[in-house]
Structure 1
Amino acid sequence: MKKPKYQIIIDFIKEKISKGEWAIGSQIPSQRHLARMFGVNRSTVIIALEELMADGLIEGKAGKGTVVTNNTWTLMGDHLSTNWNGNVTQGIHKASVSTVQEINETESDNRFIQLSKGELSPELFPLEEMQDIIQKVSKQLTPFGYEEPKGNIKLREAISNYLKERGIDVSPSSILVVSGALQALYLISIGLLKDKSTVFLEEPSYLYSLSVFQSAGMDLEGLPMDNKGVKVDSIYQTKETGRNILYTIPSFHNPTGILMEDRRREELMEYCIREQIPVIEDDVYRDLWMDNAPPEPLKAKDRHGNVLYIGSLSKTLSPGLRIGWLVGPEPVIDRLADLKMQLDYGSSTLSQLVAEKWLSSSLYEHHIEKVQKQLRIRRQRALEALEKYLGSVATWDVPKGSFFIWVKINPAFKVKKLFEKALSKGILINPGSIYKEKAGQFVRLSYGFASLDEIEKGIFQLSEIIKNNKG
């Protein structure tokens, strides 16, 4: 006989508790999360939770949600259990805010229309080419161990040649292969900055959705932007020299999509060199231009070793490869290479060999041309849907690259409510609040991952939510 759905939920939670996976003091997932997990109404979840509460296994606590208060062993005798609940909040690295955690979990749920993901659709993944390269790499394999601290030399040579075509003349010895751009930021935060340093950054910014610098004891100082990029005259020395650094995404900024114009880049470099403010340039979206190639990177204008330059294959080819790079003065790269060895003893050899094949051949450039073509089609579909369904309640600028549209919703409707209602309808969006957008009226919509039909359907559903839930 088939179990009722509430009993399935009860059995699931009991198993988690009995195995110690949800220890005493742990907060269990929210009703909304459980309802989504099991594909049921919240009323079904409530029935299950009430029975577990009656059994003495869980309890609702003000400000903490529902927590595990006993397990089957403590109910059977006088056995004390370790309460890990206190420990998980004591680590030095801060947790993501709850909205970001919810987004991260939901992005792996294929049942949702993903208007949030900052990655390319599986439809744009070069499967045949990737299979061919992996097959070639496998045939050439010899026994392999740990790579050099800075990364595979052939890959670093390929990255060096790739960067020369984009205006950056750098030796392989000044390149560190990292497991994605985020690892580069983490290494910088723990290896180069003094405690209580200030990180200047555009506001809003993708960096606000992370806790990498705050966990290392840094302060984030937001800087205003206009349609040409960060406003240089808003930067100021908050502390003595050596305690300030600037993080910027000049090409197709995340989340706003703004492309910093060339003259603004020159002004920014002149100011930072004069004031001795080092720069972290996050350039992972550079190749995803659709109308015209962006101006040269800040690093191309750097003759003083002032810029740490971050690039990656995650946005353009495959996030699963986990291959990125950090460019800087050799002493900096040596320092961070040592730290990376202490963390993971180097990025995957197989991924590095595959990445080298992509970059050292014409395959990568041909792939980028195909991606750019498809992004133009996706952008057009998204813009048409926005105009058709949200034109009366929202405004936006046309992005020149990458896969984000920064949409301002009419103040009559709260974005927080839109995010929650969209989730309940199977649509995931990114509210501007996670990027520290102060007005609370922006959402970041991605047209990079969802199918064309899903893009239109998702935007239509957002318009229906706004229409039916004004106020």
Structure 2
Amino acid sequence: MQNRPPLSGSSRDRLRSVVASLADWRPERDSPLPIYVQIAGYFRAKIASGDWPEGMKLPPQRELAHQLGVNRSTVVAALGQLAALGLIEGRQGGGTRVAGKERTQEPAGSWNDYVEEGIHYPNLPTVQAINRLEFRPELLRLGTGEPAPELLPGEQMRSILADLTREVLPLAYEEPLGSLRLRRAVSKELGRTGIQAGPSSILILSGALQGIQLISLGLLPKGAAVLLEKPSYLYSIHSFQSAGVKLHGLPMDERGLVTEGLEARAARTKAALLYTIPSFHNPTGILMDAERRRELMEKTAALGLPVLEDGAYQDLWLDTPPPLPLKALDRNGQVLHLGTLSKSASPGLRIGWVAGPEQVIRRLADIKMQTDYGASSLSQLAAAKWLEDGCHERHTDALRLTLRQRRDLMLELLERHFAGLAEWSKPSGGFYVWLRLSKPLPLPKLFRTALAEGLLLNTGDLYDRSDARHLRLSYAYASPSGLEQGIAKLAELVRRMGRLS
């Protein structure tokens, strides 16, 4: 093994100066800006000012994490941003060093000057990588939150589109709430789940995620607090945080979000709303039972706390239908309910909806008109006919059968390869198995190691920054043979890293 050269006196002094400067600064826990973004910003300022000159070595990641009082994964995310800007670089056997000033080859006034300046936070580096890598066909996607192409209704949708060519096509804008024909079809579809919402109480969205963005921009004051399950899908995106809204996680058990202590937490945070995925939660797959749903509605009603219910997965039950949605229990206009066709029929249609009190829906429609002037008229027409003709019900029945088979295969594979390495529960719907590793591992390293082996993972730290034990495994995308190959390979990687840690 090659010996590393000792640090020179000046190098030691510079390293000490880094440690000293970090002793006087900490990221703000209450800031709506993610902690890794705060750290990256602080480091950028130090490099730009010349306090940390080119060639200066940074302390190891573990030491940085200790000095800043954060998890190592947070430091990794911050350093990833700096590396992407060309401000730091890793050198073989030499750690991480300042590479120089920020890359500014463009003339003054270039658009590139604004890349990091917008109000919407960038995705986590791992999420950005996943979004790019999902389009590489050679990778086995073990965490993807969408159905595989062969599970989508290609033939049925082709027939729908062929039928539409014999109708008058809507080439103009739709009204602010969206196509009346589609809202009537959605209203009928919601009625099948117990939700009573007329067309005037429904806004058509360009995907359900847009509903979260509209609510954060149009209904919540800056600095507002949102309660939600932790872990949660919302921690992997920045829709609320970019609007200056703070997220406060609540614990879960096998029955869903824990309501005990909700009153105290809502009072302490001055919560503006509660966001929940009661049916087949993302990423845990947990189904909130009927009694817990009633408790949650009673407590939030007593608190006057509005609820945002994400029903993206509620149609994808695999054993028995889930309990009534929270919106079906709502008698006070307390719940906004999000729905989508993306998880079952077609992510590419970009059709979702939000149902709630008419005044709130009109407010959200006004914000939507200011952002995109309405979802695609052609997509809305296709979605309306899809629902009207009963295609959705027939397709979801067939999809459930396939997903049930793939879920059972994944559980069998986990028993075969992960016994003693991890724990898991049998999901009763949705896409995900929430795998809990028997011992903590550096999840960013596991992500990179798996990628080098041709596996694309969704690690638990995307949904809870402090997580070092979980993986979100999806049985909805990889083929049965891909699952067999991927789960076996993943188990070997976990076993190997466990021996090294």
Do residues 265 (structure 1) and 281 (structure 2) align? no
Aligned counterpart, 1:449: 477
Aligned counterpart, 1:144: 171
> How far apart, CA to CA, are the structure 2 residues paired with 1:198 and 1:189?
11
Do residues 278 (structure 1) and 306 (structure 2) align? yes
CA-to-aligned-CA distance 1:152-177 (integer Å, 9 cap, x gap) = 00100000000111000111000000
Q: For residue 167 of structure 2, what is the amino acid of its counterpart?
A: Q
SS, match of residue 288 in structure 1: coil
> How far apart, CA to CA, are the structure 1 residues paired with 2:324 and 2:87?
58
SS, match of residue 119 in structure 1: coil
1:106 CA displacement: 1.1
> How far apart, CA to CA, are the structure 2 residues paired with 1:70 and 1:325?
43
Q: 306, 314, 334: which one pairs with 2:334?
A: 306
TM-score scaled by length of structure 2: 0.78
Do residues 334 (structure 1) and 376 (structure 2) align? no
Relative to structure 1, is the Cα distance of residues 67 and 145 closer, same or farther in structure 2, using a 3 angstrom cutoff?
A: farther
Aligned counterpart, 2:420: 392
Do residues 463 (structure 1) and 491 (structure 2) align? yes
Aligned counterpart, 1:212: 239
SS, match of residue 169 in structure 1: coil
> How far apart, CA to CA, are the structure 2 residues paired with 1:305 and 1:241?
23
Aligned counterpart, 2:189: 162
1:226 CA displacement: 0.5
SS, match of residue 366 in structure 1: helix
TM-score scaled by length of structure 1: 0.83
Aligned counterpart, 2:316: 288
Aligned counterpart, 2:278: 250
> How far apart, CA to CA, are the structure 2 residues paired with 1:66 and 1:194?
40
Aligned counterpart, 2:398: 370
Do residues 348 (structure 1) and 376 (structure 2) align? yes
Relative to structure 1, is the Cα distance of residues 171 and 269 closer, same or farther in structure 2, using a 3 angstrom cutoff?
A: same
Relative to structure 1, is the Cα distance of residues 143 and 83 closer, same or farther in structure 2, using a 3 angstrom cutoff?
A: closer
> How far apart, CA to CA, are the structure 2 residues paired with 1:222 and 1:186?
19
> How far apart, CA to CA, are the structure 1 residues paired with 2:100 and 2:177?
46
CA-to-aligned-CA distance 1:210-262 (integer Å, 9 cap, x gap) = 11111111110000011011111232355599852000000000000000000
Q: For residue 136 of structure 2, what is the amino acid of its counterpart?
A: D
1:16-415 alignment runs, 5 A limit: 69=103, 80-82=107-109, 84-142=111-169, 144-235=171-262, 236=264, 238=266, 243-411=271-439, 413-415=441-443
Relative to structure 1, is the Cα distance of residues 304 and 85 closer, same or farther in structure 2, using a 3 angstrom cutoff?
A: same
- Retained in 2: the 8 A contact 1:193–1:243? no
Quote the RMSD (CA, aligned, Å).
2.1
> How far apart, CA to CA, are the structure 1 residues paired with 2:219 and 2:494?
46
> How far apart, CA to CA, are the structure 1 residues paired with 2:182 and 2:328?
20
Aligned counterpart, 2:6: none
> How far apart, CA to CA, are the structure 1 residues paired with 2:372 and 2:467?
40
Aligned counterpart, 1:419: 447
> How far apart, CA to CA, are the structure 2 residues paired with 1:386 and 1:65?
44
Structure 1: segments with no counterpart, 5+ residues:
1-24, 26-57, 75-79
> How far apart, CA to CA, are the structure 1 residues paired with 2:190 and 2:209?
20
CA-to-aligned-CA distance 1:120-177 (integer Å, 9 cap, x gap) = 1111111111100001112213453000100000100000000111000111000000
> How far apart, CA to CA, are the structure 2 residues paired with 1:166 and 1:347?
24
Relative to structure 1, is the Cα distance of residues 119 and 455 closer, same or farther in structure 2, using a 3 angstrom cutoff?
A: same
1:66 CA displacement: 9.1
> How far apart, CA to CA, are the structure 1 residues paired with 2:254 and 2:123?
29
- Retained in 1: the 8 A contact 2:169–2:378? no
Relative to structure 1, is the Cα distance of residues 422 and 237 closer, same or farther in structure 2, using a 3 angstrom cutoff?
A: closer
- Retained in 2: the 8 A contact 1:251–1:258? yes
Q: Which range moved further: 120-129 or 370-379?
A: 120-129
> How far apart, CA to CA, are the structure 1 residues paired with 2:248 and 2:87?
40
Q: For residue 218 of structure 1, what is the amino acid of its counterpart?
A: V
Q: For residue 101 of structure 1, what is the amino acid of its counterpart?
A: Q
> How far apart, CA to CA, are the structure 1 residues paired with 2:160 and 2:422?
45
> How far apart, CA to CA, are the structure 2 residues paired with 1:298 and 1:246?
12
> How far apart, CA to CA, are the structure 2 residues paired with 1:242 and 1:447?
39
Aligned counterpart, 2:462: 434
- Retained in 2: the 8 A contact 1:250–1:283? yes
- Retained in 1: the 8 A contact 2:171–2:378? no
SS, match of residue 115 in structure 2: helix
Q: For residue 322 of structure 1, what is the amino acid of its counterpart?
A: R
> How far apart, CA to CA, are the structure 1 residues paired with 2:261 and 2:268?
17
1:68 CA displacement: 7.9
> How far apart, CA to CA, are the structure 1 residues paired with 2:467 and 2:361?
39
CA-to-aligned-CA distance 1:345-401 (integer Å, 9 cap, x gap) = 100011101101111122111100100000011001111111111112111001000
CA-to-aligned-CA distance 1:18-61 (integer Å, 9 cap, x gap) = xxxxxxx9xxxxxxxxxxxxxxxxxxxxxxxxxxxxxxxx8865
SS, match of residue 149 in structure 1: coil
Relative to structure 1, is the Cα distance of residues 251 and 412 closer, same or farther in structure 2, using a 3 angstrom cutoff?
A: closer
1:118 CA displacement: 0.5
Q: Which range moved further: 301-310 or 115-124?
A: 115-124
1:109 CA displacement: 1.6
> How far apart, CA to CA, are the structure 1 residues paired with 2:350 and 2:362?
21
SS, match of residue 400 in structure 1: coil
1:203 CA displacement: 0.4
- Retained in 2: the 8 A contact 1:163–1:169? yes
SS, match of residue 339 in structure 1: helix
Relative to structure 1, is the Cα distance of residues 243 and 132 closer, same or farther in structure 2, using a 3 angstrom cutoff?
A: same
